[in-house]
Structures are given as C-alpha cells and as structure tokens.
Chain A
Amino acid sequence: MDQCCTDLMDKGEQINLPAIMIRHIADIANTTREHDLGYGFLLTWVCEHFGVELQKKIGVQVIDEIGSSTLMGCGFNLVKGEDPSSEQGLRTPTPPVPRGTSNRPSLEALQQDQHRLQSELAEVKGALAKEKELSVKRHDDLLAIFAALTAKLSPPAP
C-alpha cells in the first residue's frame, strides 16, 4: 500500500488518504494477527479534535522521522561504508526476517485469516465473472452495430 501511494505521489496523482486510512483501520481492527496501533499520531489528533483529554501525549521525536532504520524495516539492506554513488548503496527489498516465535500468529489465527481471504477472493471472482459477462454482451452489441452499419453503407447491387 505504501509503495503504491508513494508511486502515485511521485507521479503527482491525488490520493484519498482519509478513505485509505479508514479501510486500513478497518483491516487492523478485524485482523486476528498482532498489529501495531496504526496512524497513532493522526488518530491522537482526531481524539483531540473530539475533545478527548489525553493522558500521555508524546510529541514527535527524531526516531519518528523516516531514515535508514525505516528503510531497513521495509526490507532494504543498507551497505555501510559504501560510496552512495557506487554500485550497491541500497538493495532491492527482500522479505523482512521474521521476528521471534513469540510474535508469530497462532495456527487458528492464520486459518481465520485464510478463511477471510478466501471469502474475499470468492467475491472478487464473482465480480470478475459479472464483468466478463458484461464485456461479452457489449462485444456482441458492437458487432451487431457494425454489421448493421456495414449493411447500410454497402453500395446497392447493380
């Protein structure tokens, strides 16, 4: 998701951040896996907007800024001591190394997630089938129009 948004921003295309945030928040709220409290700063802002009295508001710190640690967290490998202009300053992303076993989701949680994903996949397949059906109908309609036009525009027999 972040890659996709970055790509769009780089291309200068508008992003509906509030809508994406809400869908992401819904996903976080419904997942059975461990997940961090997403959008902490922005949701704290929202809480303040609604007049919630905050207990321990901690301001933005240096560690919150995007830096090499952020890139490492995204799966990039930073090669120390290399000249940035040399061949390998940064490598393409590789899957992040899994953390300790205590953070691994349980089998039951994985099965529930898999079940949910299968349901979503079935929905997408259904929508795709409908779209295909509609495309076939449109194609047939266009062919019929072309046939009618061809018949109309063809010169009369002598």
Chain B
Amino acid sequence: MFTNTLLGCSVPELVEFYARISVTEGTVTSEVNGVKIEFYAQKLGEILGVQAAGFDVYIREGKSLLGKVRLLELAQTLSRQSGLKTPQ
C-alpha cells in the first residue's frame, strides 16, 4: 500500500461515495457512477494489500490516550530530532 506510486484522489467520486454510503455491521456499501461498491475489513485488506489483523479498536478523534511524555518521545523518534523538549 505504501509503495503504490499510482495513488491519486478523485473528489467527485469521493463525494458520491460518501453521499450514498451505508455501513452495516462492518460492511460498507455505496454506489459510484452506477457501480455498486461493497467491502468489509477482510476484503478491504485484500484490495489495499494489507492484513486485516491486529489492533482494531477505533478511538474517536480528539481523545488522546497517550501522555505528553510519550507524545514527545514519538515526535522525537519520527522527526529524528532527539533534542526536542517540552516547553517549561
């Protein structure tokens, strides 16, 4: 998935996808340009080429389970700037 260099985004189809979307018991159903689209986790994993296994708890945005110390640690790791520090 992360090596797909042909990735692109088409807004008109996305708008239609979300306008006609229905999610029931983990199955997403929609219709775009007259084409029916239906997938669940396993099938989506196959399409994207990733495994549908592991941690699957969805945490609503705005809720942080990580403390400031861990957040800083992650920021340091990802930015490769070990000198980052929390403000006093």
Contact = CB atoms under 8 A, between A and B. Distances in A.
B81 A85 contact: yes
A93 interface: yes
Contacts of A83: 83
A16 B7 contact: no
B9 to A, nearest CB: 4
A3 B45 CA distance: 22
Interface size class of A (residues with CB under 8 A): 35 or more
Contact of A57 (B10, B50, B74): B10
B58 A10 contact: no
Contact of A6 (B40, B51, B74): B74
A51 B58 contact: no
Contact of B74 (A10, A84, A87): A10
A65 to B, nearest CB: 12
B8 A92 contact: no
Residue picked from B11, B12, B63, most chain A C-beta under 10 Å: B11
Contacts of A1: 58-61, 63
B7 A14 contact: no
Nearest to B34: A52
A43 to B, nearest CB: 6
A41 interface: yes
A108 interface: no
A20 B85 CA distance: 31
A54 interface: yes
A54 B13 contact: yes
Contact of A22 (B10, B28, B47, B82): B28
B3 interface: no
Interface of A: 1-8, 10, 13-30, 37, 40-47, 49-60, 71, 76, 83-93
14 contacts: A3-B65, A3-B66, A18-B42, A18-B50, A19-B41, A25-B23, A47-B17, A49-B47, A50-B35, A50-B36, A50-B37, A58-B10, A92-B71, A93-B64
Interface of B: 1, 4-15, 17-18, 21-23, 26, 28, 32-33, 35-37, 39-42, 44-45, 47-48, 50-61, 63-66, 68, 70-72, 74-75, 77-79, 81-87
